[in-house]
Amino acid sequence: MNSLMMAMAGVFACVSGAIVLHHTSYLRSARQAADCADTQCSSRGADYQPAGMGILTPVVMSLFVFVLGLGIYSQTGRFNDWNQGKLDDNIDYLVAADITKGRQAVEHDPQNEIALLNLAQSYAAGGMYKDAVDTLDKLLAFKGEDAELLGMKATAMYYRDDRAIAPETGIVIARALALYPQELQTRLLLATDAYLNGQYAKAIGHWEILLENQTQAFNRDAINNAILKAQSKLNPQG
């Protein structure tokens, strides 16, 4: 939120400065024109300013710009949250709509497995990983151990913890792989984490295991390209 305040202050300062400079230039031009064209104006002294064009004008104009900006932001932005120093969890409107719809569906039928799955996926799409983990826990309680759901949960836990595989996440990963060693989300998670940490051979190993998966649909060309890219990291000289 500090960046927002700084940005608003910077814009206001630039606009106000431009108004003052323009106004000063206008007054100078007006005085010169008056001195040259009107002998009565020249007799009033060098400090003559046209009526209503004193320093009050740029001040009023600057205040108008500032108030107008605040008014527009308060109507189109999230002014109250910013003013109270709250975290702005603003996400894509379509994802937010899916989350709202999913919550309503779960409230209407708390044991609806499809509604819970859709809500968990919407939470993850919106970056609300803690809520995604909580929702998947409820779904697992109803459905029991499921490799795909455990893989989704492990992935949400990973991003919830700022891209780190915590011990509890490792347990969930182990549970998923015990049920299905080629599980899509789990292998993608392990490969991604290994690649980001420079463990390219390890990442390749996870991707190669994933290619053995014949039950879940995924883009095999993308996985093969990822393997080639990791191999180029291992052997930069080709």
pLDDT tens per residue across span 210-238: 999 999 999 999 999 999 999 999 887 75
Q: Which two tokens stand for residue 234?
A: 């291992």
Q: Is residue 173 within a helix (H) or strand (E), and if so which, with residue range? A: helix 167-179
Q: Are 206 and 173 in contact (CB under 8 A)?
A: no
In a domain, 136, yes or no: yes
* pTM of the complete model: 0.62
Q: Which two tokens stand for residue 121?
A: 């996926």
Report pLDDT for 41. 45
Is 78 in the same domain as 185?
A: no
List the CATH number of the domain containing 147.
Answer: 1.25.40.10
Q: Which DSSP category does 77 fall into? A: S
Domain enclosing residue 67, as ranges: 2-83
Span 41-70, pLDDT tens digits: 444 444 444 444 455 555 556 566 666 666
Is 22 in the same domain as 57?
A: yes
Q: Are 154 and 186 in contact (CB under 8 A)?
A: yes
Is 55 in the same domain as 127?
A: no
Is 110 in the same domain as 62?
A: no
Is 78 in the same domain as 60?
A: yes
* Percentage of the chain exceeding pLDDT 90: 58
Is 68 in the same domain as 160?
A: no
Is 108 in the same domain as 57?
A: no
Is 124 in the same domain as 13?
A: no
For residue 138, CA distances in Å to 64, 101, 120, 126, 153 come to: 53, 18, 10, 19, 11
Is 139 in the same domain as 214?
A: yes
Number of domains forming the structure of the chain:
2
Q: How far apart are CA 24 and CA 85, in angstroms?
A: 38
Span 160-208, pLDDT tens digits: 999 999 999 999 999 999 999 999 999 999 999 999 999 999 999 999 9
